[in-house]
Chains A and B, each alone.
Chain A
Amino acid sequence: MNNLVSSSPRDAYGKTLLELGKKNTDIVALDADLSKSTKTAIFAEAFPDRFFDMGVAEADMVNTAAGIASCGFTVFASTFAMFLTGRAWEQIRNTVAYGNFDVKLVATHAGITVGPDGSSHQAIEDIALMTVIPNMKVLAPCDSISTKRLITQASESRGPFYFRLPRGKTFEIHKDSEKIDLGKACLIREGSDMTIFSHGLMVYNSLLAAEKLSRQGIEAAVVDVHTIKPIDQQLVLERAEISDKILVAEEHSVNGGLCSALALFLARNRPVKMRFVAIEDQFGRSGSESDLLTHYGLDETSIFNKSMELFK
């Protein structure tokens, strides 16, 4: 764990988009005046004809993306998660998803770890907003390697996708990109006493907590649920058979994200004892990334403590 390198998933997105654009002239990218931050600027520089900056107009960007996609293009549209899923929600719902256009919405700066910019910029409800929409697939990769792999796979799969990427760097958890596949959750750490499901940068915190638990004699499996919708039902059921103790950890509101998705799925199919590490019903605030994770109870200690509750 200590020797892991960190890198920026949004850099990985920008570079992957460039690669895709080189191979496929039907790839088009749009942004809403944040291309330097979302890294679509890398694509824009290489393919100015296939890039459209729609200015500070997210609703227009999303519908324009659908219109371009209707001419047979695969359109990536990026901005911050708050503005993409919040401002343009109805455009996403009524045009992109209902109309089933080949639009890949790739949001960066998702979650509380946006940090000092504060609550106006911290999307902690984006997964809820996107998973509730039919036709929409929702992904939250935990590192650069999986970002590259999953963005590439999504580009080869028709229809609407939502990706949420963080602002900061994350540790490179995946070693072998060949083992990562859209729709299939990844077992990162084996353990038969309990399973921790998480996504995004919480996968790393879950691994840290699992080590701590191991020192207490509890072996926790850690699963990277990079694809939140559709959920990997088979793997979830397998884990529930191995141990009926499950913790879900995510950098998102406890309402409507992975916590909700797994609670519903397991309640319907295989009720188990569950605990949740997520942001309770409240807004974020300014602070450093690590201070915020501690403040909102998303750090390894919180995961450890909530995990221990499963054994009481």
Chain B
Amino acid sequence: MIYLAGSGHPGGSLSIIDVLTVLYFGGILRYRSEEPLWPQRDRFVLSKGHAAPALYAVLAQAGYFPKDYLWTLRKLGSILHGHPFNIDTPGVEAPTGSLGQGLSIAHGMALGLKLRKYDSRVFAVLGDGEIEEGNIWEAAMSAGFYKSGNLTAILDYNHLQIDGYIHAVKSPEPIPEKFKAFLWDVIEIDGHDHGMILDTLQSAAKRDPMGPPLAVIAHTVKGKGVCFMEDSVDWHGIAPTKEQYEKAMGLLDE
């Protein structure tokens, strides 16, 4: 997808794809791809919108749109924009791409669903660089205060942002302590261990909607699955060459 598009973000897409796979195909999210706006659906917000290719791949697999659409990513006229856009893409709940905004939007959804008296849940995926944004902590404070227990934030803790390792750029760490201070519960998991992701998200989906929100800190590797992309700052935002693409697909198939 990113190879054909000629641009995009492979590293942060690969680090979160295991989590998205479990969310959509592990029976966690309740959705109807043939009725994308089914009112009682669970909501998913990809706050780190640059991982759009990962989201589009699961949405296509889930049946929201034909899989060949994936090859139109980022092209004029495509319904798959460089960053998620709710109006054009079925299954996308909110526009993201400008970092730091998705948690507030997701929290609004959590409040709205409770007002509707639905037992639907909201999941949001955040980047570890992204949480340097102030708006994230405004939202964290709100969700903690309002006891929005139907909200789960999943942090893609891959230790990299654009300018380098997060501890070198401007570390948001310690992260669990921060969420706890904002009255959230926190669980840390291996973000590539499907069994562990499944158990955690299953328990998240059973939490008291009137209790504290949950932050799942998913320890991940940026570029996971493609050895030459793994843990590399260089693979944040560039497309592979033809040679690199073929090599990467071979590695992912293994």
Chain A residues near B (Cβ < 8 Å): 28, 49-50, 52, 54-55, 57, 59-60, 62-73, 90-91, 94-95, 98-100
Contact = CB atoms under 8 A, between A and B. Distances in A.
B39 interface: yes
A69 B97 CA distance: 20
7 contacts: A50-B115, A63-B135, A64-B107, A65-B108, A67-B110, A70-B93, A71-B39
A68 B116 CA distance: 10
Contacts of A66: 94, 105, 108
A22 to B, nearest CB: 17
Contacts of B43: 70
Given A60-B135, A64-B142, 14 more contacts: A57-B141, A59-B135, A64-B108, A67-B106, A67-B107, A67-B112, A69-B108, A70-B93, A70-B94, A70-B109, A73-B112, A90-B98, A91-B135, A94-B95
B94 A67 contact: yes
Q: For chain B, give the interface size range.
A: 20 to 34
B101 A94 contact: yes
B111 A67 contact: yes
Contacts of B113: 71
A68 B106 CA distance: 9
Interface in B133-152: 134-135, 138-139, 141-142, 145-146
Given A57-B141, A57-B142, A64-B142, A69 B112 contact: yes
Nearest to B122: A67
The 3 closest A-B pairs by CB, nearest first: A67-B108, A71-B112, A63-B104
A72 B94 contact: no
Contacts of B112: 28, 67-73
A59 B107 contact: no
A75 to B, nearest CB: 8
A106 B134 CA distance: 24
A69 B115 CA distance: 11
Contacts of B85: 98-99
Interface of B: 39, 43, 85-87, 93-95, 97-98, 101, 104-113, 115-116, 134-135, 138-139, 141-142, 145-146
A55 B141 contact: yes
A65 B94 CA distance: 12
A57 B98 contact: no
B94 A95 contact: yes
Contacts of A99: 85-87, 94-95
A57 B95 contact: no
B111 A72 contact: no
Contact of B139 (A28, A60, A100): A60
Contacts of B139: 60, 63-64
B87 A72 contact: no
Contacts of A68: 108-109, 111-112, 115
A64 B111 contact: yes
Contacts of B105: 63-64, 66-67, 70, 95
A66 to B, nearest CB: 6
A73 B146 CA distance: 19
A62 B105 CA distance: 9
A171 B200 CA distance: 61
Given A52-B146, A90-B98, A99-B94, A63 B108 contact: yes
Give the residue among A67, A73, A95 with the most B Cβ atoms within 10 A: A67
A63 B142 CA distance: 12
A49 B110 CA distance: 14
Contacts of A59: 101, 104, 134-135, 138
A63 B111 CA distance: 12
Given A55-B142, A94-B98, A67 B115 contact: no
A95 B105 CA distance: 8
Contacts of A63: 101, 104-105, 108, 135, 139
A298 to B, nearest CB: 35
A72 B111 CA distance: 12
B138 A49 contact: no
Nearest to A56: B138
Contacts of A98: 85, 95
Contacts of A64: 104-105, 107-108, 111, 139, 142
Given A57-B138, A64-B104, A52 B116 contact: no
Nearest to B108: A67
A44 to B, nearest CB: 15
